[in-house]
Structure 1
Amino acid sequence: MSVTAYLNGEFQETDACTISPLDRGFLFGDSVYEVLPVYHGNIFRCDDHLRRLDYSLNSINIANPLSDDQWKAIFSELIARCGLTDLSIYLQVSRGTAPLREHSPTNDMHPTIFAMTMPPRAASEEAAEKGVDVVTTDDIRWSRCDIKSTNLLASVMLGMQLKKEDVYEVIMIREGYVTEGTSSNVFAVHGDCLLMPPLSYKVLAGITRKVVIEIAEQLQFKCSEKELTHTDLLNADELWLTSSTRNIVPVIRIDKQQVGQGTPGKLWHKFSDALVRLSLP
């Protein structure tokens, strides 16, 4: 299925888009990306996504090729051409194309800028109402998971694992401590406190993670960063996954063991409702 996209200054259908095979994003994964949710025709937390894009680009020494206003103009045109009011926007910036395949980049390249619309990927009503099953595994990714890189081979491999095991997500553990899911951050409710792994090179600074912390402050519910173990997950009263495309998803089983009461908890309902209200125009 072809959709409207933006590639290096032109709006065109994805079927017509062409990128050089020598593009460093294609050859090396030398590129970063963002996925922005759109509700009722409005991008949710656009500025937060653009700040994270800046961080990822700066981390790999690529200058942001566009200003915020230029990015927003592209997004607005993609939304208008798409014809949907609830969707996602995928954007990707690679270092560009070089004449030869060499690890060390040259200084005269121009970034490749690509963006397109995608159907919304919100968690299904059944997942939200009944909760989901997850498993844990070793975190086999590289050491700079704070950069939103397109180099996602480890996540692809874990994605095949979750399909094989028929679970919703795989939560990764590195050196005994929880990092995150393949495409989500992790929260654990213990009594009167909401806990999450601290931000570091091992954990992506999720936008919905940030919003959940803000909601906790508004609701005056204690929220803090803590190194979480597998046992902490098993003993949680509630366990959540958060992401920009799926919002807050309740986990009811982990590694085939029940979490809390085995149903989405009261606190999840309260936070989920608050997030929905924030997304309204």
Structure 2
Amino acid sequence: MTRTVYVNGQYLPEDEAKVSIFDRGFLMADGVYEVTSVIGGKLVDFDGHATRLERSLSELDMGQPLTKDELLEVHRELVRLNEIDEGGVYLQITRGAPADRDFVFPPADTPQTVVLFTQSKPGLSAATPKPISVISIEDQRWGRRDIKTVQLLYPSLGKMMAKAAGADDAWMVEDGFVTEGTSNNAYIVKGRKIITRHLGNEILHGITRAAVLRFAREAQMEVEERNFTIDEAKEADEAFITSATMFVTPVVAIDGEQIGNGEGGGIAARLREIYIEESRKAAV
């Protein structure tokens, strides 16, 4: 079935959707994005994604072309039209076009480009996900990783490095400490304490991260937000990642060395259970 997508106010078959070759998202990676998960045909943590989107746009001096309510309506309509039960909705907003290529921003009243599409992912909320392995790589991204921009070349290269090494993903390292995964936040567990990097410009302020840490604290789990090294991770009892597309997923090997029992631990499993249960209740 051909998907219906949204482009600048129109719902179109995906093979009829077009964006200008002069769009700054294409020429300059001048845009931001969000991915909102869908469980049971409903949106997970939409408010959190909408709030982060507004912040990303503001940090890049870009306007908000649609209100939060308008965005919610578009998300829901795409989920309905494409009959998405489990999956996600991808949203991208760029500084727009048409304008000739120039490093200087176009006038503020230049129409922005707004694109949304869905992806179906049956099994997204499976109780027991397939654990992953990761490799460590140097973090060579720009300094403002807290802004969810479409500049994803290095994360893509990182995933390809992992694939070439027979792993599933990569954890990036800067100044000796883990920042995050290529498309997820990174965690270790030692003595039942959950350890993850503190928020700052160095990592994305994950929406799933925020929810999982809140649920962890509500469940009386100990959480420490601080830097940790790859060597420390290799000695951990557990490791896991969080993201809107993988929820809570165990990491069972780093650079070929087994973590814990090599199968994933009880903390990650319990957090995934709580996250999915609570997300189903709150989904819109």
- TM band (smaller chain): over 0.9
1:262 positional shift: 1.7
Counterpart position of 1:105: 105
Residue 45, structure 1, aligned to residue 45, structure 2: yes
Residue 119, structure 1, aligned to residue 132, structure 2: no
Counterpart position of 1:182: 182
Once residues 201 and 36 of structure 1 are traced to their aligned partners in structure 2, the CA distance between those partners, rounded to angstroms, is 22
Counterpart position of 2:17: 17
Do the aligned residues in 2 keep the contact of 1:122 with 1:246 (CA within 8 Å)?
A: no
The residue correspondences of 1:228-267 to structure 2 (distance < 5 A) are 228-267=228-267
* Secondary structure of the structure 1 residue equivalent to 2:57: helix
Distance 1:279 1:125, change over 3 A: closer
Give TM-score, length-normalised by structure 1.
0.95
Query: Aligned pair count?
Result: 280
1:126 positional shift: 11
1:2 positional shift: 3.8
Do the aligned residues in 2 keep the contact of 1:98 with 1:106 (CA within 8 Å)?
A: no
Once residues 233 and 222 of structure 1 are traced to their aligned partners in structure 2, the CA distance between those partners, rounded to angstroms, is 17
Distance 1:217 1:124, change over 3 A: closer
Do the aligned residues in 2 keep the contact of 1:180 with 1:186 (CA within 8 Å)?
A: yes
Letter matched to residue 119 of structure 2: M
* Secondary structure of the structure 2 residue equivalent to 1:27: helix
1:232 positional shift: 1.5
The residue correspondences of 1:30-179 to structure 2 (distance < 5 A) are 30-107=30-107, 108-120=109-121, 128=129, 131-179=131-179
1:218 positional shift: 1.3
Letter matched to residue 230 of structure 1: I
1:106 positional shift: 1.9
Do the aligned residues in 1 keep the contact of 2:134 with 2:167 (CA within 8 Å)?
A: yes
Do the aligned residues in 2 keep the contact of 1:121 with 1:246 (CA within 8 Å)?
A: no
Q: Which 4+ residue blocks in structure 1 deviate beyond 4 angstroms?
A: 121-127
1:219 positional shift: 0.7
Once residues 157 and 263 of structure 1 are traced to their aligned partners in structure 2, the CA distance between those partners, rounded to angstroms, is 27
Letter matched to residue 106 of structure 2: T
Do the aligned residues in 2 keep the contact of 1:38 with 1:85 (CA within 8 Å)?
A: yes
Counterpart position of 2:206: 206
Q: Per-residue CA shift, 1:187-212, capped at 9, x if unaligned?
A: 11111311101111110011111111
Cα RMSD (Å) of the superposition?
A: 1.7
Once residues 141 and 240 of structure 1 are traced to their aligned partners in structure 2, the CA distance between those partners, rounded to angstroms, is 22
Letter matched to residue 54 of structure 1: E
1:92 positional shift: 0.3
**Structure 2 stretches of 5 or more lacking a match?**
none
* Secondary structure of the structure 1 residue equivalent to 2:163: helix
* Secondary structure of the structure 2 residue equivalent to 1:280: helix
How much identity, in percent, do the aligned residues show? 32
Once residues 104 and 182 of structure 1 are traced to their aligned partners in structure 2, the CA distance between those partners, rounded to angstroms, is 29
Do the aligned residues in 2 keep the contact of 1:186 with 1:242 (CA within 8 Å)?
A: yes
Distance 1:216 1:147, change over 3 A: same
Once residues 4 and 191 of structure 2 are traced to their aligned partners in structure 1, the CA distance between those partners, rounded to angstroms, is 47
Residue 220, structure 1, aligned to residue 230, structure 2: no
Do the aligned residues in 2 keep the contact of 1:236 with 1:259 (CA within 8 Å)?
A: yes
Letter matched to residue 20 of structure 2: S
Counterpart position of 1:8: 8
Do the aligned residues in 1 keep the contact of 2:29 with 2:150 (CA within 8 Å)?
A: yes
Do the aligned residues in 2 keep the contact of 1:37 with 1:120 (CA within 8 Å)?
A: no
Q: Per-residue CA shift, 1:99-156, capped at 9, x if unaligned?
A: 2100011223111010011112766969725x22111010011111111111111011
Do the aligned residues in 2 keep the contact of 1:253 with 1:262 (CA within 8 Å)?
A: yes
Once residues 69 and 127 of structure 2 are traced to their aligned partners in structure 1, the CA distance between those partners, rounded to angstroms, is 38
Once residues 216 and 104 of structure 2 are traced to their aligned partners in structure 1, the CA distance between those partners, rounded to angstroms, is 45
Once residues 247 and 125 of structure 2 are traced to their aligned partners in structure 1, the CA distance between those partners, rounded to angstroms, is 11
Do the aligned residues in 2 keep the contact of 1:98 with 1:105 (CA within 8 Å)?
A: no
